[in-house]
A and B are shown apart, each in its own frame.
Chain A
Amino acid sequence: MEAWRFLDLEEADGYWNMAVDEAIAKARGEGRVPNTLRFYMWRPSAVIIGFFQSVEEEVDQEECKRQGIDIVRRISGGGAVLNSSDGVFTYTIAVGGDDPRIMGGIVDSYRVLCGGLIEGLSILGLKGEFKPINDIVVGGRKISGNAQVRKYGVVLHHGTLLIDFDPHLMARVLRISEEKLRDKMLREAEERVTTIRRELGRDVSLREVRDAMFEGFKRALKVELVPGRLSRYEEELARELREKYSSPEWIYRR
């Protein structure tokens, strides 16, 4: 069976997390490392905006400062999310651009790579469904948002999985656009979004989520996941890239 590198759950700040993602993509593109699956958490919590979004339009910066929440811009497109340090599990896949799994078009590649989370959710007893373009829903409510960027000849795919969620905090730190609200018929975040805890109706440990997702990706992608670590090259690259991700020029570039 095809072997992928697996980087197990670690916790770091958002600038480091995004620097590591880009470092892995670059190293993968240069053929220095194998296809990789990575699990990680965010501390402190961060609002993370898509590459084409503007901080001013999406984020209440004063509220973030008050709450000690970082503002991070990622390299991929898509929308703003709040990655709270206890409630959001995140993962990254870096796969070669010529991999048959991602050759069927962009939305199809989301469907395939999101398959790991859907399989993992089923292990937990939940029925997740892929909702194009880039979401996973349970019972019609969003539980996971995903984003991709094609760069360095690699598909870098990353996403969130909500374990727990504070709609009030989210509403305070994210600015919701009028147009978008109208489109979604003014439904409250509480009605549009769900979490693993809410769906299972019980407390769930991070370990349990991690184990289910590990197994889910293994099955869905039909790969062997070999525990590994960042190469020295990636570590050094990530240290350089962290400077970029934490710089005002990058954060406020749009």
Chain B
Amino acid sequence: MKGVGKAEFKVPGGKLIRARVEVMNGKVRFVRFTGDFFMTPEEDLEELESRLIGMEADPDRAGEAVISYFKAKGTSIVGGTPEDFAHVLAMAIRSA
């Protein structure tokens, strides 16, 4: 079983966040966040994306993983919050 999910969310008063996810056999195979937000350090996004690979493709758990990653890293995000990224990823997984 393989599926591709996509979602986008315009943060009110903030920026646009998109997620594209590939799911295979119930696991996350690929994740990519894109958008016009700002993030420092920028490397954190790629690290998060690679850490999500292999996770169970469960919208809530994947969302929680996003939030705990950003919180643990102390990533600075302008135009959105860790919760916004979690929300977009959960939507993308649901649509896969």
> Are the C-beta atoms of A149 and B40 separated by less than 8 Å?
yes
Interface status of A34 (Cβ within 8 A of chain B): no
Interface status of B9 (Cβ within 8 A of chain A): yes
Among candidates B10, B33, B41, B76, residue contacting A52 with C-beta atoms closer than 8 Å:
B33
- Secondary structure at the B interface, as helix, strand, loop or mixed, is strand
Compute the total of residue contacts between A and B using a CB distance below 8 Å: 65
Q: Which residues of B contact A80 (CB under 8 A)?
A: 36
Interface status of B39 (Cβ within 8 A of chain A): yes
> Are the C-beta atoms of B78 and A53 separated by less than 8 Å?
no
**Chain A window 230-251, contacts with chain B (Cβ cutoff 8 Å), 1 for yes, 0 for no:** 0000000000000000000000
Q: Which residues of B contact A50 (CB under 8 A)?
A: 35-36
Contact A79:B34 (CB < 8 A) given known A106-B76, A133-B79, A179-B9: no
Chain A: interface size category: 20 to 34
Among candidates B18, B36, B40, residue contacting A78 with C-beta atoms closer than 8 Å:
B36
Contact A52:B36 (CB < 8 A) given known A133-B79, A179-B16, A183-B10: yes
> Are the C-beta atoms of B39 and A77 separated by less than 8 Å?
yes
> Are the C-beta atoms of A77 and B37 separated by less than 8 Å?
yes
Interface status of B83 (Cβ within 8 A of chain A): no
A-binding residues in B (CB < 8 A):
8-10, 12, 14-16, 18, 32-42, 45, 76, 78-79
